[in-house]
Amino acid sequence: MSKPIRAALPPPTASVQPAVRTSQPVDSSRVFLGLMGLAQRATVAASADGTPDVIAADILRSLLATLQFRDAATLGHVRRVVKLCSGMAQHLSCDGRQLRILETAALLHDLGKIGIPDAILFKPGSLSPRETELMALHHNVGMDVLQACRVDAEVLEIVAQAHLHYDTSRDGSRREGKAPHLGARILGVADAYDSMRTDQVYRKGKSHEESLKVLSTFAGTQFDANVVNALAHWSRSADGQAALALTVKHRDLPLAQVAQHTDEAPDAESLSQIFSYLYQLESLCDGFYLLDADLRFVVWNGGIARLLGYRSSEMLGQPWSRQLFLPDGTADTADLDPDGPLQRALKTGKTVTSRQKLQSSNSEQFELEMHTVPLFDDRGGLQGLAEVFRDRQHQHPKQASPQDLLRSAALDPLTQVLHRGELDKELADLAKRARRNLISPFSLIFLDLDHFKQINDVLGHAVGDKALVEVAKLLRCELYSGELIGRYGGEEFLVVCPETPLDLAFTKAERLRLALTRMRIEELQPNNLSASFGVAVWEPTDTDESLKKRADEALYLAKNEGRNRTRTLRLQRGKAVTESEFQLPVVDPWLFTGKFLACMTANLTVFKLRGYVNEHKGRVLEVEQKLAVVRLGHRGLLSFLQPLETYMPVDVTFEFGDEPPANAPVHVNRRNHAQIGVSIRPSSTEKDSAAFQIRAKKVFQDICSYFVGEVQ
């Protein structure tokens, strides 16, 4: 690597505005500055001691104080794990510095849980797939913070490997045939043992014998058999029995009050904010690294390690050089290029976004979107830089979780909407519930792309496949009331509309039909796609098959009448008859409307709305007796990392009704339900109406969930 180039870079210009002082981290640069602050504290502590330690004492105290501040139960868990690790390690003849390193790793292995939201961390039931995915990030977040704290490299190695199987080939992580570090194998056994022994909300803790039996079952694969045997032998010794008895005795007692000093509370709160932000960053980007003021690597995130192939042990403390990542043959002067993203960020004091062609350690080349964020303190002094990477082509996908695999099994591989088998299962379930009067009648929409065979025959199946993918995307964007969307076969799609009468289902079908005619696919120019639609509603005498048959008959009626139209059929005296044309309202692409029934009385909805606004950091714009307007979302420094539909500011109008309408579902008690109408518009000028509709749909679904509402 080249020498540091700090001296060759231009100083920040006078136009750079120092960051606004705030009591806690609220944006990207402020949180990166928080990580830099930890690194500087660790450096000062090492200089004061004269010799580098495993971790600076005051840093360790701050981290444990923050863990106590956020979740005392996790702190109790790590303290018990330390005792278990220490006992097994001494039984295996580890002592001195080896023992101290292991005990430090045991104390810090669950540090990432500090940033997990309370709703997930303390959830009494099973986690959803999305919540499980977020929980899995706690390992990455903890490693980011530990690197910033300049923790000993061997501690980092133990924490990084503690979650790996002993037989690493089973989780796809075999590295040159090496098993994980012995300390990681000890920590893995201790962590699993204490987790099994501890009561959880969803189960009782296991006995010592039951826990050892589980560990023995997976010895040689998930756990090191020698370490499991060491735990069994140590637990039978006098020291082991005394230690285990002590951990059981103190399992439910109050923990040591490591964070009770009032001067530590602000520090703990600030660190908690850093952890929370890092969860967002880990979810949104594919990797990042942090440089200090001398342009040396302080944090080498796990994501960037996977992207470029360089491990953190190779990078931390090394000087930055763009030559490390540039493809072979790139000019040698790239580090000093005055128009380079890092140099421009330092010169302007602003985030610079660019696309960079990079090369991994195995010479694989790919293009990434890179955001270079300069970090200035309140006085305008340069503290470092952060570079955040996103791979928009998803060339480096994360390993699929079991939940991901289950979801994939229900989806059509091409269009990523439900396949026919999954649709039939959902439809059969709806029909069963409708027959028992548990839900209101629902509708089906069949659509078939017109003259689709000609596209395949003339333009090729690749163009036909692209058209199917684009149609599926449009259906997902245009439907936002809990509909089930699936590909029923070939060019035919089916939409299941829960609790939707025939006239509203017709309106939805017509909106989809018009949207299809406006959709542009380059390979089809100058022609546009069109589709024929058939709509039917559930009748008391229906089965799922008879309902599908009637919707299919309506579809063929539309095709026989000339295509590119919507027809409906419903039962009268046991026969299917055509409905008269419904009046189609004008569709505004910048307006989203919906209604739901809140499971509460009308006078309580105002208090519920106040809680929703506070929790989502909204701003009340207008309040009347039965109306409120709230603004949600704002554009921050990290907006460029997020899809438009996840942060677009919107104005939400709530209209409060006194009681449910006459056509409310049969199970609704009119005395303790209130109807709420919602209208959503963008709060500023936007260009992408499809992104707005996705954003509005998500906001509406979130509101319904918060109010425990049923969509009307």
Most confident range (mean pLDDT) of 160-174, 329-343, 458-472, 607-621 is 458-472
| Mean per-residue pLDDT, 321-349 | 69
Radius of gyration for the chain, computed over Cα atoms and rounded to the nearest angstrom = 30
Quick count: other Cβ atoms within 10 Å of Cβ 682?
20
Last residue within a domain, chosen from 214, 238, 271: 271
Residue 532 has pLDDT above 90, yes or no: yes
Distance CA 483, CA 493 (A): 13
Q: How confident is the model at residue 48 (pLDDT cuts 50, 70, 90)?
A: low
Domain that includes residue 122, residue range: 50-251+265-271
Q: Verify that 426 and 292 share a domain, yes or no.
A: no
| Mean per-residue pLDDT, 365-389 | 86
**Structure-model confidence comparison of residues 299 and 139, the more confident one:** 299
pLDDT, residue 652, reads 94
pLDDT, residue 645, reads 54
pLDDT, residue 448, reads 94
**Structure-model confidence comparison of residues 243 and 318, the more confident one:** 318
Q: Verify that 626 and 674 share a domain, yes or no.
A: yes
**Structure-model confidence comparison of residues 493 and 271, the more confident one:** 493
Asked whether residue 45 is domain-assigned, the answer is no
**Structure-model confidence comparison of residues 78 and 52, the more confident one:** 78
Sign of CA dihedral 221, 224, 228, 231: negative
Last residue within a domain, chosen from 362, 390, 418: 390
Residue 304 has pLDDT above 80, yes or no: yes
Q: How many domains does the chain have?
A: 4
- To which residue do tokens 């009347």 refer? 624
Asked whether residue 64 is domain-assigned, the answer is yes
Residue 298 has pLDDT above 80, yes or no: yes
Quick count: other Cβ atoms within 10 Å of Cβ 125?
7
Q: How confident is the model at residue 249 (pLDDT cuts 50, 70, 90)?
A: low
pLDDT, residue 518, reads 84
Q: How confident is the model at residue 567 (pLDDT cuts 50, 70, 90)?
A: very high
Report the amino acid identity of residue 515. Answer: A
User: What is the separation, in whole angstroms, between the first and last Cα of the chain?
Assistant: 63
The helix (H) or strand (E) run that includes residue 520 is: none
pLDDT, residue 566, reads 93
Q: How confident is the model at residue 409 (pLDDT cuts 50, 70, 90)?
A: low
Q: How confident is the model at residue 13 (pLDDT cuts 50, 70, 90)?
A: very low
Residue 444 has pLDDT above 90, yes or no: yes
Residue 574 has pLDDT above 70, yes or no: no
Q: How confident is the model at residue 23 (pLDDT cuts 50, 70, 90)?
A: very low
**Structure-model confidence comparison of residues 62 and 651, the more confident one:** 651
Asked whether residue 7 is domain-assigned, the answer is no
Q: Give the CATH number for residue 560.
A: 3.30.70.270
pLDDT, residue 255, reads 40
Asked whether residue 504 is domain-assigned, the answer is yes
**Structure-model confidence comparison of residues 3 and 577, the more confident one:** 577
Q: Give the CATH number for residue 229.
A: 1.10.3210.10
pLDDT, residue 540, reads 86
Q: Verify that 560 and 415 share a domain, yes or no.
A: yes
Q: Give the CATH number for residue 691.
A: 3.30.310.80
Asked whether residue 128 is domain-assigned, the answer is yes
| Mean per-residue pLDDT, 89-106 | 86
| Mean per-residue pLDDT, 138-167 | 85
Q: Verify that 317 and 375 share a domain, yes or no.
A: yes
Q: How confident is the model at residue 495 (pLDDT cuts 50, 70, 90)?
A: very high
Summarised one tens digit per residue, pLDDT across range 164-185 is: 776 544 443 433 335 678 898 9
Q: Verify that 419 and 374 share a domain, yes or no.
A: no
Summarised one tens digit per residue, pLDDT across range 670-704 is: 455 678 889 999 988 777 777 788 788 888 888 88
| Mean per-residue pLDDT, 544-554 | 92
pLDDT > 90 fraction of the chain, expressed in percent and rounded: 13
Last residue within a domain, chosen from 336, 369, 390: 390
Q: Verify that 99 and 234 share a domain, yes or no.
A: yes
DSSP 27: S
**Structure-model confidence comparison of residues 693 and 47, the more confident one:** 693
Query: By the 8 A CB rule, do 18 and 379 touch?
Result: yes
Q: What angle do CA 556, 559, 562 make, to 5 degrees?
A: 150
Residue 231 has pLDDT above 70, yes or no: yes
Q: Give the CATH number for residue 368.
A: 3.30.450.20
**Structure-model confidence comparison of residues 566 and 271, the more confident one:** 566
| Mean per-residue pLDDT, 126-148 | 75
Copy the structure tokens of residue 126.
């099973």
Q: Verify that 56 and 175 share a domain, yes or no.
A: yes
Asked whether residue 8 is domain-assigned, the answer is no
Residue 10 has pLDDT above 70, yes or no: no
Q: How confident is the model at residue 399 (pLDDT cuts 50, 70, 90)?
A: very low
| Mean per-residue pLDDT, 501-509 | 89
Query: By the 8 A CB rule, do 707 and 676 touch?
Result: yes
Q: Verify that 148 and 297 share a domain, yes or no.
A: no
Quick count: other Cβ atoms within 10 Å of Cβ 603?
10
**Structure-model confidence comparison of residues 402 and 563, the more confident one:** 563
Asked whether residue 15 is domain-assigned, the answer is no
Summarised one tens digit per residue, pLDDT across range 350-375 is: 888 888 888 887 777 878 888 888 88
Residue 349 has pLDDT above 70, yes or no: yes
Distance CA 578, CA 565 (A): 14
Residue 405 has pLDDT above 60, yes or no: no
Angle between helices 138-148 and 129-136 (to 10 degrees): 20
Asked whether residue 653 is domain-assigned, the answer is yes
- For the chain, give the mean pLDDT: 77
Least confident of 161-165, 193-197, 574-578: 574-578
Residue 133 has pLDDT above 70, yes or no: no
Beta bridge partners of 566: 533
Query: By the 8 A CB rule, do 502 and 568 touch?
Result: yes
The helix (H) or strand (E) run that includes residue 674 is: strand 674-682
pLDDT, residue 449, reads 94
pLDDT, residue 347, reads 84
Q: How confident is the model at residue 597 (pLDDT cuts 50, 70, 90)?
A: confident
Q: Is 56 exposed, middle or buried (0-12, 13-18, 19+ CB in 10 A)?
A: buried
**Structure-model confidence comparison of residues 92 and 336, the more confident one:** 92
Residue 140 has pLDDT above 60, yes or no: yes
Q: Verify that 59 and 172 share a domain, yes or no.
A: yes
Q: Verify that 549 and 673 share a domain, yes or no.
A: no
Residue 413 has pLDDT above 50, yes or no: yes
| Nearest 10 degrees: Cα torsion 32, 36, 39, 44 | -160
Q: Verify that 500 and 528 share a domain, yes or no.
A: yes
Least confident of 79-83, 261-265, 547-551: 261-265
pLDDT, residue 576, reads 63
Q: Verify that 418 and 541 share a domain, yes or no.
A: yes
